[in-house]
Structure 1
Amino acid sequence: MLGAIIGDIVGSRFEFDNHRSKDFELFAEGCFATDDSIMTLSVAKAIMETQREAADAPAADAAGLSDAEDAEEAFYPRLRANAVYWMRSIGQHYPDCGYGGRFYWWMFITDNPAPYDSFGNGAAMRVSPAGFAACSMEEAIALAKAVTEVTHNHPEGIKGAEATAVAVYMARTGRTQQEIAAHIVEHYYALDFTIDGIREDYIFNETCQHTVPQAIECFLESCSFEDAIRTAISLGGDSDTIAAITGAIAEAYYGIPNTIRAQALSYLDDRLRPIYDEWEARYGMGQRAH
């Protein structure tokens, strides 16, 4: 999931001042961890806490669950509740990190945080932990849907989150870029463009439909983790979120160079860093397949 955080931090200074080139300093004045990073870590915390709660249950029978299928059915409602709790609990410490208007209302104003039929790319920017934690593609999809539909319950929002989580899962389990592309085209988006071909006319857009396929394509055209991030920034548009989505997939595929990892972690404060450390202790992947 650090790849998403790196993409977010690198892209933060370019979100409203696009840089349509690969030539720039990755970390510079003006970079910071935006809502993309904070919500990614919140989703990670929700997944960890839900898995811990499930593991801590003495036995399925003690919870009134007759079999593993019943236990699984109980897991996802618990995950949805934990996603709401941790996104709000952590996120309310960062009121100025860049939340969108409706999400800000969901985060701070309402006493009844309910989904609001969104297909914004906030669905995809935060979902990468689902792809890293899953033990199967089906689980990646189920985890992604559960943590997304608490806010972004529009079909296009769920589609964007699922496509991102699936791409992460496939990348970390040894699938090639060609295999990932073929699966995304078959099940989610037509990737009938190149980044060079759309860069000049690409404009700022915050919907899943017009950012998730572009972010996936940035990864598919890359040759390294750093190149993936630079390609995502060079596209322009909603730079931090596009780079966050690209970065998550690129991490799963390439891993992250140690120097970039260390620089990015320096942006996490004392509330966020322990969540990352806990995640790494549980899900750290070591050497990648590519």
Structure 2
Amino acid sequence: MIGAIAGDIIGSPHEFDPIKTTDFPLFSAPSRFTDDTVLTIATAEAILTGGDYTRLYQSYGRRYPDAGYGGRFIHWIYEPEPRPYNSWGNGSAMRVSPIGFAFNSIEEVLAEARNSAAVTHNHPEGIKGAQATALAVYLARMGADKHTLKAEITARFGYNLDRTLDQIRPGYVFNESCRQTVPEALIAFLESDAFEDAVRKAVSLGGDSDTLACITGAVAQAHYGVPPSIIAETRSRLPDDLLHLLDRFAARFPAAAV
């Protein structure tokens, strides 16, 4: 889970100032956690406590109202009787990584990813993006090699993972859909050779960079681990309440910590 949060923070300066290169400062003054981190932590708390996803997403969203949520979600968090709004956006995928670290079968991962998405992102593409991301984290955590992971995600979800970043990058622009975020984030992981390389490649696509890097970072953590220096810098940019929950989750699911 720390890999997703690191990716979010690393990608944040470029969300609305896209770059098409891997050569950029990994952390800089504008690097900050966004809604990706806030809702990832909310998902982790739901798993730890058996809490309700709707209640926790609303609670965390209200606690951090300026984290950069989508327009529909920011209204949803204040609704007295919130209902899913058929979103196909990448918000379902950005917050789902704790599920890949916490559950111990493909069936459990897919079911819980659906549950976490469906409270807001109940469109089939929103569900699919969450499931694909959580499953990729789970497979990487369980030691699947990249060929196996790619084949499994392709077979289950129909994503085209045969493209290269060099093919994608020139025409790729900011896109909030799962359909045009999750496959690209997974390709960044598949082409990488280390955690930092994976996140840099995700940001270099020039799209919704914090979410791309959040998704890539989650899978890359499960496969490579996260360098201690990146963990330390990431933790230094989080408030105490988010750190506390992060540490509680890591104590129960140690793979999520490194």
TM-score for the superposition, normalised by structure 1:
0.87
Asked if the contact 2:250–2:257 (Cα under 8 Å) also holds between the matched residues in 1, the reply is no
One-letter identity of the residue aligned with 1:264 = T
SS at match of 1:231: helix
1:104 to 62, 71, 74: 74
| Per-residue CA distance 1:211-244 (angstroms, 9 max, x = gap) | 0000011001010001000000111110000000
One-letter identity of the residue aligned with 1:97 = A
Q: CA deviation at 1:90?
A: 1.8
CA distance in 2, matches of 1:101, 1:234: 25
1:40 to 2:10 alignment: no
2:143 to 137, 153, 174: 174
SS at match of 2:14: coil
CA distance in 1, matches of 2:178, 2:59: 25
Q: In the alignment, which residue of structure 1 is the partner of 2:29?
A: 29
CA distance in 2, matches of 1:21, 1:131: 29
1:140 to 99, 109, 115: 109
Q: In the alignment, which residue of structure 1 is the partner of 2:227?
A: 257
Q: In the alignment, which residue of structure 2 is the partner of 1:20?
A: 20
Q: CA deviation at 1:87?
A: 1.3
Q: In the alignment, which residue of structure 1 is the partner of 2:168?
A: 198
| Per-residue CA distance 1:76-125 (angstroms, 9 max, x = gap) | xxx5xx111111112211111101011001112x1111100001000100
Moved >6 Å (runs of 4+): none
CA distance in 2, matches of 1:39, 1:121: 12
Q: In the alignment, which residue of structure 2 is the partner of 1:121?
A: 90
Q: CA deviation at 1:187?
A: 1.1
CA distance in 1, matches of 2:250, 2:162: 36
One-letter identity of the residue aligned with 2:90 = N
Q: Percent same amino acid at aligned positions?
A: 51
Asked if the contact 2:101–2:256 (Cα under 8 Å) also holds between the matched residues in 1, the reply is no
Q: In the alignment, which residue of structure 2 is the partner of 1:217?
A: 187
1:230 to 2:200 alignment: yes
SS at match of 1:259: helix
1:2 to 2:27 alignment: no
Q: Which has the larger radius of gyration?
A: 1
Give the root-mean-square deviation of aligned CA atoms: 1.2
Q: CA deviation at 1:19?
A: 1.5
Q: Which runs of 5+ in 1 are unaligned?
A: 51-78
Q: CA deviation at 1:192?
A: 2.9
1:184 to 2:153 alignment: yes
1:156 to 2:113 alignment: no
CA distance in 2, matches of 1:286, 1:83: 20
| Per-residue CA distance 1:158-202 (angstroms, 9 max, x = gap) | 000000000000000000011101111111112131111110110
One-letter identity of the residue aligned with 1:153 = N
One-letter identity of the residue aligned with 1:178 = H
Q: CA deviation at 1:155?
A: 0.5
Q: In the alignment, which residue of structure 2 is the partner of 1:269?
A: 239
CA distance in 1, matches of 2:160, 2:151: 10
One-letter identity of the residue aligned with 1:210 = Q
CA distance in 2, matches of 1:29, 1:14: 12
Q: CA deviation at 1:29?
A: 1.0
Say if 1:286 and 1:144 are closer, same or farther in 2 by CA, change over 3 A: closer
Say if 1:145 and 1:286 are closer, same or farther in 2 by CA, change over 3 A: closer
Q: CA deviation at 1:287?
A: 10
1:239 to 194, 209, 227: 209
Q: Which runs of 5+ in 2 are unaligned?
A: none
Q: How does 1:11-90 map to 2 (within 5 A)?
A: 11-50=11-50, 82-90=52-60
Q: CA deviation at 1:20?
A: 1.0
Asked if the contact 2:2–2:257 (Cα under 8 Å) also holds between the matched residues in 1, the reply is no
Q: In the alignment, which residue of structure 2 is the partner of 1:76?
A: none
Asked if the contact 2:99–2:134 (Cα under 8 Å) also holds between the matched residues in 1, the reply is yes
TM-score for the superposition, normalised by structure 2:
0.97
